Homo-oligomer: A and B are copies of this chain.
Amino acid sequence: MRAVTITDGNLQWTEHPDPEPEAGELLVAVRAAGLNAGDLLQLAGHYPAPAGSPADIPGLELAGEVLAVGTGVQRYAVGDRVMAVVGGGAQAERAVVHESCALPVPDTLDWAGAGGFPEAFTTAHDAVFTQAGLAVGETLCVHGAAGGVGVAAVQLGVATGAHVVATVRNPDLRDRVAELGATVVAPERFAAHGPFDVVLELIGGPNLRDDVRALSIGGRITVIGVGAGPKAEISLLDLMAVRGRIHGSTLRARPLEQKAAAADAVRRHVLPLVTRGRIHVPVAATFPMSAAAEAYERFRSGGKFGKIVLVAGN
């Protein structure tokens, strides 16, 4: 097969040995694979693939058709349309996925949408619901709402009956996020729209002091992105005064059974919304896999609404 590979910090489109499905795994003909911030970190050498994932092929999510199955596979068969979060290796013509982490692709998603769905929606659902426990009638603030995870979190918040306040740095993207049902504000004005029961922090440390001060009683912050830097300075009295809590999390480092649990939560709680048309996967741009370097550059330049997705066939 051919694959996007990282060699000495550069992306190439090269021949690579096919992966082999082991017990419980699916071999998937990849039709689309979304880009994520983790790919840029890995390219820069800061985010090595976990054990069991290809060390030199990036890509944290994919959608495609099952080509073959390993021993013991029960849930999927050759020809099924699947999508999944993977530890790495998604940006290739073929990849392996453990069946416990694979999701069926609803008919309402095309390949590009399916390839850009798993990482963003699993991350958003896990952060906002499994960790922070957002509930109907609450107020959710999403910092950095125009990116893949932000767009997912805004839609999930709106779907669950929360009032969603979204900060978007780029004024050109605010209308797009508002169309998802959020009250969109400039980052420096967010606190005036609180207090918040849940804050999803996709920007990082510099926001945290004000996030804590904007919490309602019993409020929760979940930090899953630190693009603006990891260092946070907070007053613990502020946190105690609201009886709040701060979560930090990543999806990639989790053991298989936890990833499977996160996928199962998406299957039960998010896929029905996709099927019913309540949730969409905005795709900002697609690139052929062979043009991965160009796609990464587009991702890095920011100012996009939704996902950048690599697609097969060129």
Residues of A participating in the B interface, judged by any CB pair closer than 8 Å: 131, 204-205, 208, 223-224, 226, 230-250, 253-254
Asked if A246 contacts B246 (CB within 8 A), the reply is yes
Of the candidates B223, B226, B231, B241, which one forms a contact with A250 in the assembled complex, judged by CB atoms under 8 Å apart?
B241
Most B C-beta atoms less than 10 A away, residue of A204, A235, A248, A250: A248
Asked if A247 contacts B248 (CB within 8 A), the reply is no
Of all chain B residues, the one with the shortest Cβ separation from A243 is B249
Asked if A240 contacts B226 (CB within 8 A), the reply is yes
Asked if A240 contacts B245 (CB within 8 A), the reply is no
Interchain Cβ contacts under 8 Å between A and B, 22 examples:
A205-B235, A223-B236, A224-B240, A226-B240, A230-B236, A230-B237, A230-B238, A231-B235, A231-B236, A232-B233, A232-B235, A233-B233, A236-B248, A240-B248, A240-B250, A241-B248, A241-B253, A243-B247, A243-B248, A243-B249, A243-B250, A245-B248
Asked if B236 contacts A233 (CB within 8 A), the reply is no
Given contacts A230-B236, A239-B247, 13 further A-B contacts (CB under 8 A): A131-B245, A205-B235, A231-B236, A232-B234, A232-B235, A233-B233, A234-B234, A236-B248, A239-B246, A239-B248, A240-B248, A243-B247, A244-B248
- CB-CB under 8 A from A241, the residues of chain B are 248, 250, 253
Of all chain B residues, the one with the shortest Cβ separation from A226 is B236
Asked if A223 contacts B248 (CB within 8 A), the reply is no
In the complex, A50 Cα to B56 Cα: how many Å?
60
Q: Nearest chain B CB to A134's CB is how many angstroms away?
A: 15
Of all chain B residues, the one with the shortest Cβ separation from A231 is B235
Asked if B245 contacts A236 (CB within 8 A), the reply is no
- CB-CB under 8 A from A231, the residues of chain B are 233-236
Asked if A249 contacts B253 (CB within 8 A), the reply is no
Q: Nearest chain B CB to A63's CB is how many angstroms away?
A: 26
- Nearest 4 interchain pairs by C-beta: A239-B248, A240-B248, A230-B237, A245-B247
In the complex, A62 Cα to B198 Cα: how many Å?
36
Asked if A223 contacts B246 (CB within 8 A), the reply is no
Of all chain B residues, the one with the shortest Cβ separation from A235 is B230
